[in-house]
Structure 1
């Protein structure tokens, strides 16, 4: 069953962050996942959550999302992402 990784992204250094995007995109594809949403103009309908940029990735399962997240190939990219942005990330799977 598909799982979704939802990211509230605040990019602090666009040029540096682009290096992360360029490197992580092939890894996401290699993991069998895909980008569903990248939106920096979200429409808040209710509540206090105001993501700067909302990103949603679809993985085959929560296990696949976790395997990607914990993969040795992704570890150095996490550090690169953290240098150029701040994120909150959750993974969810429909019932």
Structure 2
């Protein structure tokens, strides 16, 4: 079953955030993660969106997600995202196929 990591991001320090971006894609892929969307101008249909970016990443399983998120590789770059941006993130379970 697929799992989706959804991040709503408000970038405050582009230089610090870029340190995260420079390595993030390679690390996602290493743990079976796949970028599905990265949007700096999502269309707001309802409510408020006080962010500068929305990201959607698919993992093939919850186990893959957990291995990625808890990995030393990811924890090493996560500090740059947290320092360079305010983020609200969730994990969403996909539908059974």
TM-score normalised according to structure 1 size: 0.89
Local SS of the residue matching 2:44: coil
User: Would you say how many aligned residue pairs link Structure 1 and Structure 2?
Assistant: 95
Tell me the CA shift for residue 82 of structure 1: 1.2
Partner in structure 2 of residue 89 of structure 1: 89
Moved over 4 A (4+): none
Partner in structure 1 of residue 25 of structure 2: 25
Q: Is the 8 A contact 2:11 2:17 kept in 1?
A: yes
Q: Is the 8 A contact 1:9 1:86 kept in 2?
A: yes
Query: For residues 7-43 of structure 1, what are the alpha-carbon distances to aligned partners after superposition, in whole Å with 9 as ceiling and x for unaligned?
Result: 0011111122111111121111111111111111111
Query: For residues 44-66 of structure 1, what are the alpha-carbon distances to aligned partners after superposition, in whole Å with 9 as ceiling and x for unaligned?
Result: 11123443211000100122112
Structure 2: tracts of 5 or more residues without a match: none
CA distance in 1, matches of 2:89, 2:32: 19
TM-score normalised according to structure 2 size: 0.88
Structure 1: tracts of 5 or more residues without a match: none
CA distance in 1, matches of 2:87, 2:4: 16
